[in-house]
Amino acid sequence: MKLSDFAAKLRGELTSITRFAGEDVTRAAELLTEALDSSVRLILLDVLSAAAADITARLHDTVVEVRLADGEPTFVVMTAPLEAEYEEQARPTAAGGDQQEPGARLTLRLPDSLKTRIEAAAAQNGVSVNTWLVRAASRAVEEPGRGSQAAGRWGKGQRITGYARS
């Protein structure tokens, strides 16, 4: 969907309205439509986003999102993860034995290249991106030896071996 097509259509409508007016009114309308182009695009995006939110609210297990790619909106339709996937993710915690809240929401901004790799990994494992990310985050916090650790902070029983020169 190209927003510029809709902006051009609005420009054409304003031009046709002013065709019987004087030359100065026609020129003023042209200048206004050029100035309003970015505002019209933003309003159209707001309308599309509101429509996607309304559709999502009416569907039981489907989410409709509007995403911008190269300045043009695209619709992405996703099915929500099954309740079984949420229950699988909720495990007893080490401290209290309570269940984790499966409904917490987090907005995460990723580079497109990383997002593509994550989507491929999730598809390869046959799970949703959400499930894949939850599992990756769980592994990262449950296995302290993996990933980066702050310099100088070592847990009990961990050793550093090697040689040093002065």
What is the DSSP secondary structure assignment for residue 155, as one 8-state letter? -
pLDDT tens string for the chain (166 positions)? 788 788 888 888 887 888 788 888 888 888 888 888 888 888 888 888 888 888 888 887 788 888 887 878 888 888 866 555 555 555 544 444 444 555 677 778 888 888 888 888 888 888 888 888 888 888 888 876 554 444 445 556 666 666 667 6
For residue 98, the model assigns a pLDDT of 46
For residue 61, the model assigns a pLDDT of 76
pTM of the model: 0.43
Contacts of 134 (CB under 8 A, 6+ apart): 89
Among 75, 39, 29, 80, residue whose Cα is nearest residue 57? 80
For residue 29, the model assigns a pLDDT of 82
